Structure 1
Amino acid sequence: MDFQKLDPNSLDVILDRTMESINTSKSKLFEIGELSHDECQQINNQLQLLTEELETVQGLRQERLHMDRIARAELVKISKNFQDYGEPEIRNAYEKASDAQIKLSVSMEKESRLKDQIADLEQRISSLQNTSDKAESFMSQISTVLSYLGGELRLYGEVIEDARRKQEYGLKIIEAQEEERKRLSREIHDGPAQVLANVLLRSQLIERIYEKKGKDEAFKEIKDMRSLIEDALKEVRRLIYDLRPMALDDLGLVPTLLKYLNKVDDRSEATIYFHYFEGIQRLHVRLEAAIFRLVQEAVQNALKHADATEISVDLNLDGDKIVVTIEDNGIGFDVNVRKDQSFGLIGMKERVGLLNGTIQVQSTPNKGTYILIRIPIHEQEGV
């Protein structure tokens, strides 16, 4: 195709129509995902009730099994000593045995039916969850396409080589953003949202617990719910911190890095060392945020991709420049070979470039990685 002959206005019209159609499909996928999620929640509620009923029926079956065994034992005793019992005693024993067997059969049939219903509900939940996951995956892919259509493709008139590089990197950034949104969505869904759904369900059961087991058990359930709510609150605070540590605005770069690296050290199997020049004062807010993200990206790369067991972070001043070094003892990599995970380093280089700084990456397979970042302090007003 000869792109030189394309009218940019016509291309914009085509793009707008395409994006409108894709947006419609995305909305329908969202509706499918929401309906699947809501139905899954309703079935979960039914499953909870059926599970409780099954536990009750199983307990009753055990009791009736015991009664059946006693009745059978009595019949065996009468059969061995038939001449010692009168007709009324014999008839009564047979009636008890027959009644016990019928009740046991009813309990076993009800237990079997409940198990079948539970298995059916679990299968429906699995199917709905699969539908919801597929809808979410498709929406993520559509969001990537929409972002691309609405952004990079409209700048197609730039130099081809530069456009190709930006296209490749831009798509990776968009995919990373969508993956991050998907991760946050999943963490909220699997964390606070699930806890709150569980609290809602258990709150609906408190009245039944009170009626069946008394106020002490009901109060115990309320205490358990309070613990769940506290866990959800901690998870929400963690998610907020991951989005942007509030300490960065309040305390500055060094205390925030110290807190973050200590937390990583506690949560991971790696040992983190942090050294800094105590004379570092507060920097421009955008510079502090950028340096924090650079360190965060480098540390996460070392943990996730390099399997590092030791990571050293140094923060110093060199004249009018802030100097950051991150070194790990991980598996390293060939800096001349670009892999998917190298887009993390590309993003770091882009960020440093926007700050008029420099970044050097030295790495050798099986010998770790060393990153040196130098950024001028007094050139960030326009960043």
Structure 2
Amino acid sequence: MITRLRSLARYWTTLVPGLAVILLVFAWGRDLPGAIVALVATVLAGSVLAAVHHAEVVAHRVGEPFGSLVLAISVTIIEVALIVTLMVDGGDKSSTLARDTVFAAVMITCNGMVGTCLLVASLRHGTAVFNPEGAGAALATVATLATLSLVLPTFTTSKPGPEFSSVQLMFAALSSLVLYGLFVATQTVRHRDYFLPITRQGEVITGEGHVEPPSARTAWTSLGLLGLALIGVVGLAKTVSPTIESGVEAAGLNQAVVGVIIALLVLLPETIAALRSARRDRVQTSLNLAFGSAMASIGLTIPAVALASLWLSGPLVLGLGSTDMLLLALTVVVGSLTVVPGRATPVQGGVHLVLFAAYLELAVNP
């Protein structure tokens, strides 16, 4: 019995996508009791992890730069699916959901993930070392994307309220795609060495821990399971969305908390991977994951939501309020001071974590 349980645990990424689709068939269109909702939420979280795992397998098979795009697009499909699913039935009260989710992703990655990784690496190894050229370029791209997509709508005058006009929204979407594509090309082709981990003497580490790519059969299997997992994520999110919204409303919490929940769910696999890299003193890899996740969240989610807005009713509010803009500005300033030296102590990690805690506090109690 114990051996069989271990075997099931070993192959959970194969079992969960199928289980998600089966559960979706029985749960679709029904009012679910609390116990079933908890089961659906658990399988939903497992489906997200399984989807990212299979995306990584496919990415390893096809290589760079296409591998990075496979993972980023897969994760973005999950995020957009969750956002659009909740926006379809939410009406005007969900008009800020895309903004809240994307901003939550930026704060989670640039403060929560970065702060935790710097703290873990510096406490374990004395100081956290990384490549300032690569980290600086990534942070600059994140800051530009966030400003164009989340700050400018607050100040534009073509449309009342913190919204883009149709032309402005298309410009922001295209700009996001161009910047993200340019960064991916720089990271994976032209200046790849800027984004590789370095030793404490400043030497680039190449080829360490290389693993042979999976076979074509394994990659095709993972591609199929990835499709099943994404179907499960989209469908199960639709099933539990009324419970999430009613729970947030019953608790008297700000609607932005829904965006925080979505971002935490989507970014969980990247967070785990980043912490593992930090423990192995590969902080540059951790920063690549953190800033890359923030970039994908803005650079791919905003264009997708802009496209979805063509058939979704209701407004699409992207502009941040004054408090969130202040937190974003402080994050960019502190992040710049962190990455410029190329090394960090526990102080820098603690500062980012305090900023993340402040964001969470203000999301719950604005």
Short-chain TM bin: under 0.3
Q: TM-score under structure 1 normalisation?
A: 0.20
Q: TM-score under structure 2 normalisation?
A: 0.20
Q: Which has the higher strand share?
A: 1
